[in-house]
Amino acid sequence: MEYVYTPATDPMGIDGWPTLSEMILTNKRVVIMLEYDANQQQVPWLLNMCSYKWQTPFSSTNPEFPCTVQRPPSQDRNTSADRLYLANHNLNAGTELFGQQILIPNTAAINNTNSNTTDEGAALTTIEQCTGEWGRPRNFLLVGYYNFGNFNGSSLAAAARANNVPQLITVEYCQVKIIGLAWNGSRLMEGAKRQIE
């Protein structure tokens, strides 16, 4: 548990988070969140996800990927604006199995869905749309099949572009950046860049 980060407050606004470099330097670089039943009074490092972040609709069958708050439900916009947020960007398709309707990954559209382009439904399009609607990029980008797209790793390149990270980076550099991309924001990324360079 030596690497687990414990926030100073519950809930905590976006400005309360340390930079990625601060987390690395203090060896507190693991954040654990539960969607349900987290009790921070008993376990302070096991975070209630809804106190710290919100997310866009999951299992979308809509290639426009709306940047609206789905979870937690009924959270007001001012609260959402002061929390981390996750953009779900995995396109699904409905099908029937044993008489039941289920959702499965829409692999027929995966190359566009994960692309580093501004085509409708592309990862970069969603990132830019959410940035425009919320005044800042998302902190997390959830994709399915990250190694598919208009090139292998194009969804990672889209996230890098949104964070002003050069695309021509070594694999080791990229692996560290992926952690930073999850957190996003220039404040967090600046510290990560300084640590690596």
Q: % helix / strand / coil in the chain, to the nearest 5? A: 35, 15, 45
At 88 the pLDDT is 94
Widest distance between CA atoms in the chain: 56
How confident is the model at residue 165, as a pLDDT? 76
Cα–Cα dist 76/50, whole Å = 12
Average per-residue pLDDT for the chain: 84
How far, CA to CA in Å, does 131 sit from each of 6, 35, 103?
28, 24, 28
User: Which pLDDT belongs to residue 194?
Assistant: 43
Q: Note the pLDDT of residue 167.
A: 58
Question: Hey, where are the domains in the chain?
Answer: 14-196
Q: State the Cα–Cα distance between residues 121 and 64, nearest whole angstrom.
A: 5
Q: Residues of the chain whose pLDDT is less than 50?
A: 168-197
Instruction: Calculate ∠ Cα 131-147-171, nearest 5°.
Output: 85
